[in-house]
Structure 1
Amino acid sequence: MLKNVGSNWFLMLVTAVTTYLLMPFNINKLGTENYGVWIIISSLTAYLFMLHLGTPMASVREMTQAIATKDHEKLNRVVASCAALYVGAGLAVLVLGLPLLWFFETHYVVAADLKSEARLTFVLAVLQTGLAFLATMPYAIFSAYEHFILKNWLMIGQLLIRAALNLVLVLWYPGFLSLSILMLVMSVVELLLCWGYVFKSYPEIRPKPHHATMQTVKDIFGFSLYVFLMVIGSQLAFQTSPLIVGYFMTNADVPSVAVPNALMLILTQFIGGIAAVIMPVATNLQSLDKSHELQAVFLRWSKVAVAVSICACLFLIVFGPAFLKYWIGNAYATASGDVLQILAVSYLIFLPARGVAMPILMGLGNAKWPTIATLISGVLNLVLSVWWANTYGLLGVAWGMAIPNIVLAVALTFLACRELKIPLRTYVAQTVPLALIGGISLYLLLALVSELWHPTSFFGLGFAGILTVGLCGLMWTEMVLRNDAHLRLPRVSDLLRGRFA
């Protein structure tokens, strides 16, 4: 399990590096105004991807059960039925893309000389979304087989190809049209590459049209409806802020919230490296009636997620504005830096619940209440962001995103503890007190370092990151997780004395 999580984290590292290189490159080449238009188009068309109706997560659960019982007939029924759903969803995207294009052109201001390019960019983005359903389905198959390392290497290869093409296309034509062409080309490559690998490596997967049945679709929808509603909540929470900023402010203001949000999404994906492994594990342990092992998995990985979240978020809280100044430019140190710090505070609490509690609940098939909680959180995010955008500007949008994250984290943790029959006070006692002491101590140390020394260069910020990780590792191995019942890590003091075996 640790190897799979590690491969997921390596994928997130590659994602972070490509984002680190490409985001300032694209902003500088396109300009803040044009890049803001691209973010708005991406955020709008991302809503069309919700037409998968929660099928990817539901299909992983159904296929995992079929693989565990070696029921190849059921496996092909699930694959064929999902493929049929995705074809229908792709056609629906093409139809719904037209009114969404009208909404974009009537509610957002684009320079007159760029309107035709923006329209073509939007159309290509819609086509890419329609193809993305079938293109991403093989990843659900890899997850169901728990072949996470294979899945991640394929995704890493595509990330590197996408990064190279991004550089070439934007240098050739520095406009948002280049980015939409890039996304469409990569969806076609992904479709051909991943499905070709599936048919070559999994001989038991040979779906035929007759395998697609209404009963299988109903079984998938019974679970995926909740996932679909959950996706709506997540979409409102993570993809709506650029639209709000672009509507109430200007296109040039959009990157000021999109850049910090992108960093937090990378952290979410990093923690998602745990979630992607835990969900099928939870399904398997439930099938084998190993509830005590599942409780141990929940507590162990919650502690890991808390440690990772505190380390990453405290770095962003203390050194985030300086990082943005070096990474993107001086203009992003103040407004974007404040947004980043607000979001990082909320993610201290949100990430462990999102990375562990959520996949445990979904893996056990208990999607109703997590879905309701996520949907309420997304609606609250939208309402607060719109309400505070006019009064407080970018900071109002940031708080509108942060507060619902904290509420959702508390709700998910409570639901997971109840489902696993772990008293909430037990969970809190085992994960919070020592982590809180360690986190406060780490923050004070980093704040002192920041006051005495203001890193501004690549090497300075890199050293600050290494220092943060080192101090966090020391704090957690020597104090927070010392003699922990669920997670044994080598202590630095033991390593120095050569006692750890």
Structure 2
Amino acid sequence: MSEQHHDSAPGSSGRTMAWGALANWVAFAATLTVAFFLAPYLLRRLGEARYGVWCMVEALLAYFTLLDLGLAACLVRYVARYHALSAQQELSRYAAAAFWLYCGAAGIVLLVSLPLGLVLAPLLENRLDQADRLLPFLLLMFGQFAFTLPLSVFPTLLDGLQRFGQKSAVRLGALVLRVSGIVLVMETAPGLTGLAVVLSLSQLVEHGVMWWVVRRDLPGLSLSWRWVDRTTLREVRGYSRDAFLAMVAGRLSGQSGPIVAGLFLSAAAVAHYTLAYRLIDMGKNLLRAATTTLTPAISQREAVNDREGLRRLFLDATRAVLYLVLPVHGGLVFFGHAFLNRWLGSSSVADASYPVVLILSLTLTLGVAQSVAARVLYGVGQLRGFARWALLEGAAVLTIGLLVASFWHLMGLAVAVAIPNVLFCLWTIMAACRHTHTNWGEYWQRSCKRPLVCVTLPLIIWWTIGPIPAEWQALMIAITTGLVPYALLVLLCEGSLWSFRSGKHARHGVLRNLTAVFRGRS
């Protein structure tokens, strides 16, 4: 198809993608900022043991999210595709299929909630250093997940439509409500049940408002059962099966640590591992939040057969995220211990968590670069190999973790996560290069070379500064001392790249004009 058709596709312009990525990133950055400050706050108010139980239940609920069945990834791709082609009926078919499949999954959650809660409650209560009734807490957490599962079709629809600004505004409003409720509960009657009540109410409000936004923006959308047919279900199953396997792998690699630590170590060890893992995960997710906006854009380019635009988007987006993640990675290595000490307000917790941070940080830069590559595979629907390699990674993480946790403790768990993840990230990047017809030399030149050269400047500065005290002011001064010259160097490098490209385009324009003149004379 022509380039003109591509440019006219809804939400396909570079400016729209940039604003969408910014809106998504702002909302996610706000969520991470809140999580950053809530972690030590909840640790103090709940105590290490109850906070460890909270982390274990969150890890269990992360496994429950497998009941998404890969439908969200499938829906984003097909909504973006059919919205670009103005096929309203096809859009309704996929949305209705996802909604009713979610309803079935929610029914499964409700059926298993009570027996699972009756089994888990006494096991977790034995790990607490004080009497606490956990069954109401568990039932509330399972119940809110079941009721919000069908409603999750609406934020997914907003992703597919690239309505990232509207979705982010709703998320920020719900975040304010959630934080206010958590602080109120923790200051009056700190406990896990009150925490579950606040989380449940805020989730229902957030998804309910997103339902209203979708109904306003897509008045013709119908989720009626009559739209669900075998053909649509077959297509959904074909795509979502691989996305589901990738989700299983993600839960195995990401959530096995707290559960294995809880089985073989102690509730306090769960808290130490989880805090380290979350710090690395925050760094990854802060940048991944912007890359998620690439999936519908890639699907649109694939729908109109804009292969060169897809390839350029992959390379440029990778270079952009590397510019952002590399100084974060370096900062964690140089200032991670002082940061943990000041953040958590406990030198003993920082001593236990920092070695885990160092090992897990090996996955940070590659993990963020891999997220761009994964968006390519999701956007073009090439998930079979990705899902199977991801599942292999998750199985390796769980197996190695079970083998080494009893004698290598937290360090062993960190190694069990880091090594398989690094290998999987490299495979994913290679797969995206293959699907975009990009060789390793071009990937290095256009995506990796400049960020890696630029980041050497702040690393040298931070190495010269040496150890610093665990104070916010000292941390901010040291970090800024490296980041300011780094930002200037990045602007200089990207400015020269832009100037070269602009000059190249100008030279091509001059040649075209001269050719036209000579042709006119002849």
TM-score by length of 1: 0.91
1:233-277 deviations in whole A, cap 9, x for unaligned? 111111221111111111111111111222222222222223221
Q: Is the 8 A contact 1:319 1:450 kept in 2?
A: no
2:404 is matched with: 388
Return the alpha-carbon distance in structure 2 between the equivalents of residues 104 and 473 of structure 1: 50
Q: Which amino acid aligns with 1:307?
A: Y
Q: Does 1:351 align with 2:368?
A: yes
Return the alpha-carbon distance in structure 2 between the equivalents of residues 380 and 488 of structure 1: 45
Return the alpha-carbon distance in structure 2 between the equivalents of residues 486 and 332 of structure 1: 49
Q: Which amino acid aligns with 1:349?
A: L
Q: Is the 8 A contact 1:131 1:187 kept in 2?
A: no
The secondary structure found in structure 1 opposite 2:178 is: helix
Where structure 1 has 5 or more consecutive residues not aligned to the other structure, the ranges are 490-501
Q: Which amino acid aligns with 1:393?
A: H
1:399 is matched with: 415
Return the alpha-carbon distance in structure 1 between the equivalents of residues 424 and 47 of structure 2: 35
Cα distance, 1:20 vs. partner?
A: 2.2
TM-score by length of 2: 0.88
* Residues 155/486 of structure 1: CA separation in 2 closer, same or farther (3 Å cut): farther
Q: Which of 466, 472, 477 does residue 480 from structure 2 map onto?
A: 466
Percent identical across equivalent pairs?
Answer: 22
Q: Does 1:336 align with 2:353?
A: yes
Q: Is the 8 A contact 1:283 1:364 kept in 2?
A: yes
Q: Which amino acid aligns with 2:349?
A: Y
Return the alpha-carbon distance in structure 2 between the equivalents of residues 411 and 100 of structure 1: 37
Q: Which of 484, 490, 493 does residue 476 from structure 1 map onto?
A: 490
1:427 is matched with: 443
2:470 is matched with: 456
Cα distance, 1:57 vs. partner?
A: 0.8
Q: Does 1:145 align with 2:158?
A: no
Q: Which of 56, 68, 74 does residue 52 from structure 1 map onto?
A: 68
2:12 is matched with: none
The secondary structure found in structure 2 opposite 1:333 is: helix
The secondary structure found in structure 2 opposite 1:117 is: coil
* Residues 153/159 of structure 1: CA separation in 2 closer, same or farther (3 Å cut): same
Return the alpha-carbon distance in structure 1 between the equivalents of residues 45 and 418 of structure 2: 31
1:212 is matched with: 228
Return the alpha-carbon distance in structure 1 between the equivalents of residues 453 and 201 of structure 2: 49
* Superposed counterparts of 1:100-499, under 5 Å: 100-101=116-117, 104-105=120-121, 108=124, 110-111=126-127, 117-329=133-345, 330-354=347-371, 356-451=372-467, 454-479=468-493, 481=494, 483-484=496-497
The secondary structure found in structure 2 opposite 1:240 is: helix
Cα distance, 1:476 vs. partner?
A: 2.7
Q: Does 1:12 align with 2:25?
A: no
1:26 is matched with: 42
Return the alpha-carbon distance in structure 2 between the equivalents of residues 450 and 478 of structure 1: 27
Return the alpha-carbon distance in structure 1 between the equivalents of residues 500 and 51 of structure 2: 44
Q: Is the 8 A contact 1:15 1:266 kept in 2?
A: no
Return the alpha-carbon distance in structure 2 between the equivalents of residues 277 and 387 of structure 1: 38
Q: Which amino acid aligns with 1:424?
A: W
Cα distance, 1:231 vs. partner?
A: 0.3
Q: Is the 8 A contact 2:121 2:138 kept in 1?
A: no
1:499 is matched with: none
Return the alpha-carbon distance in structure 2 between the equivalents of residues 409 and 484 of structure 1: 28
* Residues 115/128 of structure 1: CA separation in 2 closer, same or farther (3 Å cut): farther
Return the alpha-carbon distance in structure 1 between the equivalents of residues 359 and 479 of structure 2: 19
Q: Which amino acid aligns with 2:496?
A: N
Cα distance, 1:113 vs. partner?
A: 8.2
Q: Which amino acid aligns with 2:156?
A: A
Count of residues in Structure 1 that have an aligned counterpart in Structure 2: 485
* Residues 466/288 of structure 1: CA separation in 2 closer, same or farther (3 Å cut): same
The secondary structure found in structure 2 opposite 1:421 is: coil
Q: Which amino acid aligns with 1:353?
A: Q
Return the alpha-carbon distance in structure 2 between the equivalents of residues 358 and 336 of structure 1: 29
Q: Which amino acid aligns with 1:124?
A: L
Please provide the CA RMSD for this pair.
2.2
* Residues 486/455 of structure 1: CA separation in 2 closer, same or farther (3 Å cut): farther
Q: Which amino acid aligns with 2:356?
A: V
